[in-house]
Amino acid sequence: MMVRGIRGAITVDHDEKDEIKSATLNLFQAILVQNQLSPSDISCVFITATPDISSVFPAEAIREIEDFRYVPVLCAQEIDVKGAMPRCVRMLVLAMTRCEPREIKHVYLRGAQRLRQDLCEERKTQ
């Protein structure tokens, strides 16, 4: 088994605590399901949020799941690039897997699908 990085992102409509936590959890769960991961497979999770998300740390959503209580989760602010996608939570999950890099299923939800259309289109053709 190897440690692989699994990317994902999701957008929210509003900078509201419940919406951000729900979206973060939705993204995290989609990454777990689509890559057939269990809590013991996860080494750590890095989360960034655009500067217009400030009502909550998105990592709180994962930390509140009992099975992930001891998994390191870190939040940071995304670089404030002019014209970048607003209200976006990005995630990098480092996990133990037998998958080859091409087999990893990166997850982009809602408006964040525009960030990596190459990966979203590739998934549609598989």
What is the arithmetic mean of pLDDT over 60-68? 92
- Taking only the tens place, the pLDDT of each residue in 82-114 is 988 999 999 999 999 999 999 999 999 988 887
Q: Is the pLDDT of residue 121 over 60?
A: no
The domain that holds 92 is classified in CATH as 3.30.1330.40
pLDDT at residue 125, rounded to an integer: 44
Q: What band does 116 get if pLDDT is binned at 50, 70 and 90? A: low
Q: Is the pLDDT of residue 124 over 80?
A: no
Under a CB-based contact definition with an 8 Å cutoff, are residues 119 and 106 in contact? yes
**Total count of domains within the chain:** 1
pLDDT at residue 113, rounded to an integer: 83
What is the arithmetic mean of pLDDT over 57-72? 93
- Taking only the tens place, the pLDDT of each residue in 2-57 is 999 999 999 999 999 999 999 999 999 999 999 999 999 999 999 999 999 999 99
- Residue 119: CB partners within 8 Å, gap ≥ 6? 106, 108
Paired tokens of 115: 């960030």
Task: Quote the domain boundaries for residue 59.
Answer: 2-125
Active-site annotation, residues: 7, 63, 75, 78, 90, 108, 116
What is the arithmetic mean of pLDDT over 76-81? 93
Query: What is the bridge-based pairing of β-strands 88-97 and 42-49?
Result: antiparallel
